[in-house]
Amino acid sequence: MDQEAIMKIQMMEQETNSLNEQLKMVDQNVAEMNDLTTSLEEIDSNDTKEIMANLGKRIFIPVDIREKKLLVEVGKGNFVKKSVSDTKLIVVEESDKLAEAKNQIMGRLNELQEDMNKMIMEFQKAQMEEHNKAHADAKDGAEEGHMPADAGHVHGPDCDHDHEHSEKEASIEDIAEGN
71 dihedral zone (left: phi>0; alpha: psi -120 to 50; beta): beta
- Give the CATH number, domain containing residue 55: 1.10.287.370
Establish if 158 belongs to a structural domain: no
Establish if 145 belongs to a structural domain: no
- CA 152 vs. chain centroid, Å, equals 51
Indicate the pTM of the whole model.
0.63
Residue range(s) defining the domain that contains residue 53: 3-118
User: Cα 80–73–101 angle (5° rounding)?
Assistant: 135
| Structural domains in the chain (count) | 1
Q: What is the pLDDT along the chain (179 residues), one digit of tens a residue?
A: 678 888 888 899 999 999 999 999 999 999 999 988 988 888 888 777 888 887 888 898 998 888 888 999 988 999 999 999 999 999 999 999 999 999 999 999 999 999 988 988 888 888 899 888 888 887 776 666 555 444 445 555 555 555 444 444 445 455 555 55
Establish if 156 belongs to a structural domain: no
